[in-house]
Structure 1
């Protein structure tokens, strides 16, 4: 993950894009790319959406948008100094406590 973030940072630096890579702009770009991913599925039935990767053209589009979303997320985390994997692990832990397995006797808080 760190190598990918470094590669993205080098790519942006070589093009003097750092001035545009503010947290606000990266969050907006991330939102736009996530919307482009949603757009692929917008009018599909549940069955069609489950089979989207079977068509090479739609599979390529999905993969491209997933890459764009991840790219902006990694750049966002880099700019703010967030360890994305550590943040994810912490969130999973909180969710495990917040949403216990049914029947374990733990209440949700």
Structure 2
């Protein structure tokens, strides 16, 4: 993650874009990219969605949108001073405590 963060930061700095990379702008850009990712799956059946990477053209579009989402999320975390990996691991531990595997296996019920 550190290498990606450094590279994304350098990319913005080389273009003098950091002035535009406010948390609000980055969140809005991230939401837009997530929307573009959602559009790739809109109207697909569950089976088609599961096999989307089998289609070279669709797979390339999905891969590109996931890349965009990751770049904006990485940049947002950097600007806010959030360790992305630590945040994800902390959240995973919280969810694991809330949903013990032996109690929720096979259930989609919320707690």
- For 2:24, the equivalent position in structure 1 comes to 24
In structure 2, distance between residues paired with 1:33 and 1:20:
17
Q: How does 1:8-23 map to 2 (within 5 A)?
A: 8-23=8-23
Match of 1:71 in 2: 71
Q: How many residues align?
A: 106
User: What is the deviation of 1:51?
Assistant: 1.0
1:1-109 alignment to 2 at 5 Å? 1-103=1-103
How far apart, CA to CA, are the structure 2 residues paired with 1:78 and 1:11? 13
- Residue deviations 1:53-89, cap 9 Å, x none? 1111001000000000000000000000000010111
Q: With structure 1 as the length reference, what TM-score do the two structures score? A: 0.92
Unaligned runs of 5+ in 2: 105-109
**Gaps in structure 1 of 5+ consecutive residues:** none
Following superposition, the deviation at residue 101 of structure 1 comes to 2.2
Distance 1:103 1:44, change over 3 A: closer
- 52 and 20 in structure 1: CA distance in 2 versus 1, 3 angstrom threshold: same
Please, what TM-score do these two structures have when normalized by structure 2? Answer: 0.90
